[in-house]
Chain A
Amino acid sequence: MWRKEVREQMVDPVTVEVIRHALIYASEEMGVVLRNTAFSPNIRDRLDHSCAVLTPSGDLLAQAEHIPVHLGSMPVGAKNLVRYLEKEGEELGPDDVVLTNDPYISGTHLNDLMVLKPVYVGDKLVALVANKAHHVDVGGAVPGSIGGGAKLLLEEGTVIPPVKIVENGELRRDIVRLIQANVRTPRYFQGDLMAQIAALRLGEKRVRELAEKYGAEALLEAWSEILGYTERYTRNRLVELVEKHGKAGVYEAEDYLELSSGELARIHARVEITRERIRVDYTGSHSQVDEPLNAVYGVTVAATTYALKSVIDPDMPMNHGFYRVVEIHAPRGTIVNPEPPAPVGGGNVETSQRIADVVLRALADAFPDKVPAASCGTMTNVTVGGRAWAFYETIGCGTGARPCCDGVDGVHTNMTNTLNTPIEVIETEYPVLFKAYELRPNSGGAGKYRGGLGITRAFTVLEEATVTVFSERYRLRPWGLRGGKPGQSSHHYVVRANGEKIELGAKKTIVLRPGDTVYINTPGGGGYGDPCQRDEQLILQDLEDGKITLDHARREYCYTPETKQSTKK
């Protein structure tokens, strides 16, 4: 019956649809401005940022994200920020911009600086626009601010509680200088911040144009319709899954993170699908840890959302309305919803991957034809830096093999999709020289369909530098499915200029001298199905391409040229 009511309202459904699209375009356009004007390779080349339009109370309306970890963490972050401002009695004027990187508010980690701006029409607040971007360095013990053995949030870098970085239209240069004094790359910080603010201004302009056209009141009404639309979409999909495809049920899975002590930290997910809702419960997961592997709630929401959306309906629209149907419960004080002052730097780069793995594994029981074997399960964060420079990158790997076909070689998987920074750009801007950037033979898990190959990336530093490697899947390999073998684990090491070799394990910070070379080998994806059933043509192709060796083919794929030929016809 509320459908009837809608009819009486001043905004008709078609106008709502028009406005809904306009908001999606506006957030994309904000992202283009941010990318094109940013200074650090991390944003401009790798696109580690996202932009959004929200209701005055901080409910997400539309978002343009380039990497899934921003999806889901943005709505949590924006909502937290609005609540914080209310609690502190801070009012945002029409020409104010607020900035924060407090992970317990913004919903990711210190490197993600989040800015938010109100959009007023006259004296009426009609919307908020916000964006987040990963700054290459925010201070702390190690260049790049991720890893490095931090036990407390404070050790990871500079915490910026919500501050008005623009007040009455004026950039607060004193605050900019304060932050610049606490980071290793002050020029990048300012360039990227300016880009973030420029993107907000553009978003504001687009929302105002909509208000001019349809009226502020009509917009506010459209917001609730837009949220209602996503809610209906999600509900209808759910009803279809349960009634048509019989997917109701409880599905559980678990997997582990590798702590620096050698201990494993469990993540457990229980996914319950009913006609009315999907509930994902992380009860049973490890308690929070004193190393930067804790995932703040925003990250847990992001990873859960990613897995659900990818399996159930990749085209599902995404805004606050989705969370009226999907409930995500993560007990406080656990590794998937820590309390301050736990360090969280690796939460959205590593723990998020494992959360996605666990939910995908649980869904594999409900949707056997829609879930691949495990992808490599790590973003392999590498940070190099010296006195006044820092360079950060994440390195691709293999995706899990799929029910239809092989995994993809050398690519970013699940929660990230950042681009690499071109070697020619890195070498021009930083004192490093690359030795290799290649696929890693034999690293894909064997199966009827082979897991994707990991990557070998190696570089020599030309002056003294600190390198931090922060990765996963060193001890536990990416799992295969339905008889497929696990992918090869990661293997990182340093070869000193004098030839000495030092193993780095999964997580390590090490000071390098000129001429030392770092070798990064990322994991392959898990295999799918019985390796002995792999099509001989595919094996021959892999052999020809050097993606597997003959030895590996014999050992893992029951391959002997003679028997295969004789059994063929």
Chain B
Amino acid sequence: MARRIGADIGGTFTDVVGFDDESGEILHLKVLTTPREPWRGLIEGIEKLGWALDSVEIIVHASTIGTNTFLGQVGLRLPKAVLLTNEGFRDVLEIGRQNRPELYNLFFQRPAPLVPRSRRIGVRGRIGPDGSELEPLDENQVRRIARQWCREAEVFIISFLHSYRNPSHEHRAKQIIEEECPGAIVVTSYETDPQPKEYERTSTTVVNGLFKPLLARYIERVVEELRRRGFRGKFLVMQSSGGVAGSDEATRYPAAFIESGPAAGAVAVAHFSKLMGIGKALGFDMGGTTAKASTVVNGEPLVVQEYEVGGRVHMGRLLRGSGYPVRYPYIDLAEVSAGGGTIAWIDPGGALRVGPVSAGAEPGPACYGRGGTEPTITDANYVLGRLSDELAGGRVKLHRDLAEKALAKLAEKLGMDIVELASSIIRISNTVMARGLRLVSVERGHDPREFSMYAFGGAGPLHAAALAAEIGVREVIVPPLPGVFSALGLLVTDYRHDLHKAVVKRADEVSEEELERIYSELEQEATQMLVSEGVKQGDIRITRLLDMRYLGQAYELIVPYRGNIAEAVEAFHEKHRARYGYDMRGEPVAIVNARIVAIGAIPKPRLPRSEPRPYRPEPRRTRRVFFEETGWVDTPVYWRLELRPGAEIEGPAVIESDESTALVPPGFFASIDSFYSIHVRRQ
């Protein structure tokens, strides 16, 4: 009984990974996602692993579907909801922050409001900014609305101004609706996201409110199907914060599940870096269409407190106003359009560009011979000798002539030869990916020179060394099984609950007793949640944090709170200086929110490990590989599974396995550590 399974439902494929703690066996497979009834694909994938489900201890479920697909392709219809706001403010949800997602597109569209105008209703009653009641709630009006909509609406959502200060109107309205319409789901903004900014709070509440019945029904179905097949273990749901939650808790914040899959890669980096005692790590995950970058400091992935569900990304950054804002911790990932299938082209200025268009899985790179004719990053790598003629254990055979033909078209236009072009494509794509890595490191105030970079995904290990040099990280680490590394993250995730409460006061006007009261309330709530999920008291770890800013600023920095406000203020000044290059000691500092992160530890799988004994391995063969610094060089090729801890390899070298190829350029040095990871460093 020491098996666990992770499953991630994506738009096209459902990824399933299984780990047997006793044998150390890792299984991984993909099945097609079944859009109408996603649980079918999930169950199919799990059954295909071939394990008796009564031998499985934990199943972790994640989703990479994305909201749009979730709504469209998956064929889920949003439940009918009614939104109650203050009178005069029913369009806050539709107007949003009043901006458009793109500056120069005269044909832009904003995402359609999730609750149509006809079902957004203003109610009389008003709470002021200090929490005082300016006008009593019109209870009769609420009662009438509840009655009128009871039959039609499945969900009632309540969001009133300043409810984070004084929730009494929301609370009372909820009571009335529950009286008048028993069985209806009633969701309030003060319970979902108790902090200022009415649009963000309303949007967060609406997204969670709408998905609540959907997710509850879905999880119920999945669990029922698994139980019928003999599963007796724990069913856990991955969250965008990088933690897991039991199914009950997960339905409290359903938005956290919808885009939870991408967090897994960062969680895997967190786990491995902690095991290996690496304090600062970057995750670099390059697949077929995109590359994702993440940051892990002291074993904790960096999270942001807000994201947009269904939003679009441009050059690694979210286009503000393109999706539905949700305030919930979200592992900070920068995603750029650079994967093996990304296409190179020439723009009207005559410049060589790479991406954002991708040849995807179909038709894929030209060299796959499946009808692709545009030159891709994979074609460039292949022509430069960096990939062998067969990939994936012989399942994919590469065609040199097709790759060359695709590149030749472009090379001619640019007056370059094919090799020069291929090498240029790699350089430009590295620039794009370096941006992603910079977004999560330099822009967050970190010095990349202090970081180790975990490279995974099919194409990550191929580009990592050059990228490391570009942004200046110390070393590259290619973990074992880089192709399924991200999925492994599902199997090493702890329980996690993030709770917060608005403070919104000057630091010198808050007492430590007041904070203590808030924290102990939050901690009690989180502890209850974890205990009900079956976590033992001794496995619970809680961190206290404060959101702070200079009075007048709008963006907070989060600093740890250890029971001393003066110390937290000092930590804030320090962090401001580190991030922005200056501080303003003497200026008043505001405390916006008190937050806690409550972690419930889950036993981790054991990974194979043995003591490194330094030796020089024998290459399998040599192959001519092109490097920008040296031109074509006869390069030794090693087979990864033959390498034991302690192996030392001088670049140039290629280290191959079925799922991924690692490149060690000239001037770099590779070694295998006790966890069978490859470390690549500059000599």
A13-B352, A17-B431, A236-B349 known; A436-B89 Cβ under 8 A: yes
Interface flag for B118 (CB, 8 Å): yes
Interface flag for A262 (CB, 8 Å): no
A539 → chain B closest CB, angstroms: 14
Tell me the B262-295 residues at the A interface (CB within 8 Å). none
Alpha-carbon gap, A68 to B105, bound state (A): 12
Select which of A36, A198, A240, A372 is within 8 A of B106 by beta carbon. Answer: A372
A457 → chain B closest CB, angstroms: 10
Select which of B106, B349, B550, B587 is within 8 A of A311 by beta carbon. Answer: B106
> Contact between B552 and A236 (Cβ–Cβ < 8 Å)?
no
> Contact between B348 and A240 (Cβ–Cβ < 8 Å)?
yes
Alpha-carbon gap, A404 to B88, bound state (A): 31
> Contact between B581 and A198 (Cβ–Cβ < 8 Å)?
yes
Select which of A35, A232, A310, A410 is within 8 A of B95 by beta carbon. Answer: A410
Which DSSP category, helix, strand, loop or mixed, fits chain B's interface?
loop
Nearest to A38 among chain B residues (CB) is B553
Question: CB-CB < 8 A to B109: which residues of A?
Answer: 405, 408
> Contact between A545 and B555 (Cβ–Cβ < 8 Å)?
no
Interface flag for A125 (CB, 8 Å): no
> Contact between A41 and B554 (Cβ–Cβ < 8 Å)?
yes
B101 → chain A closest CB, angstroms: 9
Alpha-carbon gap, A242 to B372, bound state (A): 33
A548 → chain B closest CB, angstroms: 11
A37-B580, A202-B581 known; A439-B94 Cβ under 8 A: yes
> Contact between A191 and B98 (Cβ–Cβ < 8 Å)?
no
Tell me the B500-551 residues at the A interface (CB within 8 Å). 504, 550
Alpha-carbon gap, A311 to B106, bound state (A): 8
> Contact between B196 and A424 (Cβ–Cβ < 8 Å)?
yes
Nearest to A35 among chain B residues (CB) is B555
Nearest to B317 among chain A residues (CB) is A28
B443 → chain A closest CB, angstroms: 6
> Contact between B582 and A396 (Cβ–Cβ < 8 Å)?
no
Tell me the A299-333 residues at the B interface (CB within 8 Å). 306, 309-311, 313-314, 317
A11 → chain B closest CB, angstroms: 13
> Contact between B584 and A194 (Cβ–Cβ < 8 Å)?
yes
Select which of A65, A232, A423, A438 is within 8 A of B90 by beta carbon. Answer: A438
> Contact between A410 and B352 (Cβ–Cβ < 8 Å)?
no
> Contact between B100 and A230 (Cβ–Cβ < 8 Å)?
no
Interface flag for A217 (CB, 8 Å): no
Q: Hey, what's the 0/1 contact readout for B107-145 against A, CB within 8 Å counting as 1?
A: 111100000111000000000110000100000000000
A417 → chain B closest CB, angstroms: 5
Select which of A21, A32, A201, A427 is within 8 A of B443 by beta carbon. Answer: A32
Interface flag for A214 (CB, 8 Å): no
> Contact between B584 and A14 (Cβ–Cβ < 8 Å)?
no
Tell me the A392-449 residues at the B interface (CB within 8 Å). 395-396, 402, 404-405, 408-413, 417-420, 422-425, 427-428, 433-439
Interface flag for A493 (CB, 8 Å): no
Interface flag for B91 (CB, 8 Å): yes
> Contact between B117 and A419 (Cβ–Cβ < 8 Å)?
no
Select which of A29, A408, A425, A458 is within 8 A of B88 by beta carbon. Answer: A458
Nearest to B347 among chain A residues (CB) is A233
B629 → chain A closest CB, angstroms: 14
Interface flag for B97 (CB, 8 Å): yes
Question: CB-CB < 8 A to A236: which residues of B?
Answer: 348-350
> Contact between B98 and A37 (Cβ–Cβ < 8 Å)?
no
Alpha-carbon gap, A194 to B200, bound state (A): 28
Alpha-carbon gap, A418 to B415, bound state (A): 44
> Contact between A424 and B100 (Cβ–Cβ < 8 Å)?
no
Tell me the B338-363 residues at the A interface (CB within 8 Å). 347-353
Select which of A14, A232, A313, A455 is within 8 A of B428 by beta carbon. Answer: A14
A231 → chain B closest CB, angstroms: 8
Select which of B91, B414, B428, B432 is within 8 A of A437 by beta carbon. Answer: B91
Select which of B107, B415, B555 is within 8 A of A402 by beta carbon. Answer: B107
Question: CB-CB < 8 A to A402: which residues of B?
Answer: 106-107
> Contact between A233 and B348 (Cβ–Cβ < 8 Å)?
yes
A562 → chain B closest CB, angstroms: 23
> Contact between B199 and A428 (Cβ–Cβ < 8 Å)?
no
B91 → chain A closest CB, angstroms: 5
> Contact between B351 and A17 (Cβ–Cβ < 8 Å)?
yes
Question: CB-CB < 8 A to B427: which residues of A?
Answer: 14, 18
Select which of B99, B199, B352, B550 is within 8 A of A14 by beta carbon. Answer: B352
A402-B106, A436-B88, A545-B118 known; A420-B97 Cβ under 8 A: yes
> Contact between B129 and A424 (Cβ–Cβ < 8 Å)?
yes
> Contact between B105 and A314 (Cβ–Cβ < 8 Å)?
yes
Alpha-carbon gap, A441 to B251, bound state (A): 37
Alpha-carbon gap, A433 to B100, bound state (A): 26
> Contact between A201 and B350 (Cβ–Cβ < 8 Å)?
no
Question: CB-CB < 8 A to B102: which residues of A?
Answer: 314
> Contact between B349 and A317 (Cβ–Cβ < 8 Å)?
yes
Question: CB-CB < 8 A to B673: which residues of A?
Answer: none
Question: CB-CB < 8 A to B555: which residues of A?
Answer: 35-37, 44
Alpha-carbon gap, A306 to B350, bound state (A): 23
> Contact between A425 and B197 (Cβ–Cβ < 8 Å)?
yes
> Contact between B104 and A39 (Cβ–Cβ < 8 Å)?
no
Interface flag for A33 (CB, 8 Å): yes
> Contact between A423 and B349 (Cβ–Cβ < 8 Å)?
no
Question: CB-CB < 8 A to B554: which residues of A?
Answer: 35, 38, 41, 44-45, 425
Interface flag for B259 (CB, 8 Å): no
Question: CB-CB < 8 A to A3: which residues of B?
Answer: 415
Question: CB-CB < 8 A to A284: which residues of B?
Answer: none
Nearest to A12 among chain B residues (CB) is B424
B325 → chain A closest CB, angstroms: 12
Select which of B129, B552, B582 is within 8 A of A39 by beta carbon. Answer: B552
B153 → chain A closest CB, angstroms: 15
Alpha-carbon gap, A21 to B353, bound state (A): 11
Alpha-carbon gap, A313 to B94, bound state (A): 29
> Contact between B350 and A229 (Cβ–Cβ < 8 Å)?
yes
Interface flag for B185 (CB, 8 Å): no
Interface flag for A246 (CB, 8 Å): no
Alpha-carbon gap, A371 to B106, bound state (A): 7
Nearest to A39 among chain B residues (CB) is B552
> Contact between B352 and A438 (Cβ–Cβ < 8 Å)?
no
> Contact between A68 and B97 (Cβ–Cβ < 8 Å)?
no
> Contact between A229 and B351 (Cβ–Cβ < 8 Å)?
yes
Nearest to A239 among chain B residues (CB) is B348
A25-B438, A35-B555 known; A424-B351 Cβ under 8 A: no
Question: CB-CB < 8 A to A40: which residues of B?
Answer: 552
Q: Hey, what's the 0/1 contact readout for B165-208 against A, CB within 8 Å counting as 1?
A: 00000000000000000000000000000001111100000000
Interface flag for B161 (CB, 8 Å): yes
A159 → chain B closest CB, angstroms: 25
A451 → chain B closest CB, angstroms: 13
Interface flag for A370 (CB, 8 Å): yes
> Contact between B129 and A427 (Cβ–Cβ < 8 Å)?
yes
Alpha-carbon gap, A545 to B431, bound state (A): 47
Interface flag for A546 (CB, 8 Å): yes
Select which of A22, A41, A439 is within 8 A of B91 by beta carbon. Answer: A439
Q: Hey, what's the 0/1 contact readout for A375-399 against B, CB within 8 Å counting as 1?
A: 0000000000000000000011000
Question: CB-CB < 8 A to B679: which residues of A?
Answer: none
Report the 3 A-B pairs with minimum CB-CB distance, sorted nearest first. Answer: A233-B349, A436-B88, A39-B552
**15 additional contacts (CB under 8 A) given A38-B554, A191-B587, A310-B104:** A20-B351, A28-B317, A33-B580, A35-B554, A35-B555, A232-B349, A233-B349, A402-B106, A411-B110, A413-B100, A420-B95, A422-B199, A422-B200, A423-B92, A427-B128
Q: Which residues of B contact A (CB under 8 A)?
A: 88-92, 94-95, 97-100, 102-110, 116-118, 128-129, 134, 161-162, 196-200, 317, 320, 347-353, 414-415, 424, 427-428, 431-432, 435, 438, 442-443, 504, 550, 552-555, 576, 579-582, 584, 587
Listed by A's residue number, 21 A-B pairs whose Cβ atoms lie within 8 Å are A13-B414, A17-B352, A29-B442, A36-B580, A38-B553, A39-B550, A39-B552, A44-B555, A188-B552, A198-B582, A233-B349, A310-B104, A311-B106, A405-B107, A408-B109, A412-B100, A417-B103, A424-B198, A427-B129, A436-B88, A458-B88
